[in-house]
């Protein structure tokens, strides 16, 4: 697939994930759900949508996450010259998804000014969440490729429960969440530290997993049946 189609795939996938995230958040608030119920709404919605998107788009090479693109470049799977283009497509799709979700919910589209609240604990949480995501991705691609979409979706759904940002270990969603009109979601001034934490977690996972499985041979592809 040529680069333009791959970039459109990235934008489409990221946009739909953000629509699911923001839409479920709005529905939870509209129904008067508690904080716990709201997180349940978001985790189930995002997990299901992401699983579907990965099953459909993963064969096309979709990353749907700048951290995964960065990790692929570190592993020499994606040319570094394409990384900025991937990131722009992912960020653009996420922002467009945020605008669409807020339009669907009749919510204001403008940024809401909020003071930053990022601290060391939240930085560590984002780093660990992204580190775990990359371990899941690398492990599945290496040993169980067919399980990759479901494993990623399950892990990402779980991150809703142990990260304050609820950005799904995804720098593109950090930007989209920071641009949200929801008060208290995330300050635009936190974007830099959150993205840095996620990219650091991705890099650590790449290097650690490369060392752990460096001498482990890849599973041999199934042999073709003999013709008779």
Domains annotated for the chain, with CATH where assigned, are 3-212 (1.20.1080.10)
Average pLDDT of the segment spanning 80-91: 94
Instruction: Please state, rounded to an integer, the average pLDDT across all residues of the chain.
Output: 82
Say what the pTM is. 0.81
Yes or no: say if 50 and 126 are a contact pair by the CB < 8 Å rule. Answer: no
In this structure, of 14-28, 130-144, 164-178, the range with the lowest mean pLDDT score is 164-178
Higher pLDDT, 206 or 219: 206
Q: What are the CA-CA distances from residue 140 to residues 48, 77, 131 (Å)? A: 18, 16, 14
pLDDT tens per residue across span 146-192: 899 999 999 999 988 888 767 778 988 888 777 665 544 566 667 88
For 87, other C-beta atoms within 10 Å of its C-beta total 18
Whether 6 shows a pLDDT value over 70: the answer reads yes
> In this structure, are residues 126 and 194 in contact, taking their beta carbons and an 8 Å threshold?
yes
Residue 94 has a pLDDT of 92
pLDDT at 219 over 80: no
Closest CA to 6 of 59, 77, 52, 55: 59
Amino acid 183: pLDDT: 47
- Rg (Cα) of the chain, in Å, rounded? 18
Tell me which of 102-106, 135-139, 151-155, 158-162 is least confident: 102-106
Looking at residue 118, its pLDDT comes to 55
As a whole number, mean pLDDT of residues 96-125 equals 72
C-alpha dist (Å) from residue 69 to 89, 171, 203, 212: 11, 11, 11, 21
Report which secondary-structure segment, H or E, holds 208: helix 191-212
């Amino acid at each position: 697939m040529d680069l333009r189609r791959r970039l459109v795939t990235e934008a489409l996938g990221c946009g739909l994930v953000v629509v699911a995230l923001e839409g479920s958040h709005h529905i939870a608030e509209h129904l008067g759900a508690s904080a716990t119920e709201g997180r349940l709404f978001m985790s189930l919605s995002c997990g299901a949508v992401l699983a579907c998107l990965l099953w459909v788009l993963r064969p096309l090479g979709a990353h749907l996450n700048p951290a995964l693109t960065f990790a692929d470049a570190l592993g020499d799977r994606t040319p570094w010259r394409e990384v900025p283009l991937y990131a722009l497509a992912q960020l653009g799709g996420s922002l467009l998804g945020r605008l669409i979700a807020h339009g669907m919910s009749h919510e204001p589209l403008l940024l809401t000014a909020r003071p930053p609240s990022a601290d060391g604990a939240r930085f560590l949480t984002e780093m660990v969440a992204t580190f775990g995501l990359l371990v899941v991705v690398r492990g599945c691609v290496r040993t169980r490729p067919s399980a990759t979409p479901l494993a990623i979706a399950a892990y990402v759904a779980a991150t809703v429960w142990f990260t304050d940002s609820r950005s799904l270990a995804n720098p593109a969603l950090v930007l989209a969440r920071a641009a949200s009109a929801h008060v208290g979601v995330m300050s635009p001034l936190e974007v830099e530290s959150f993205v840095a934490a996620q990219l650091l977690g991705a890099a650590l996972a790449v290097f650690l997993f490369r060392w752990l499985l460096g001498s482990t041979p890849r599973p041999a592809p199934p042999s073709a049946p003999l013709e008779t």
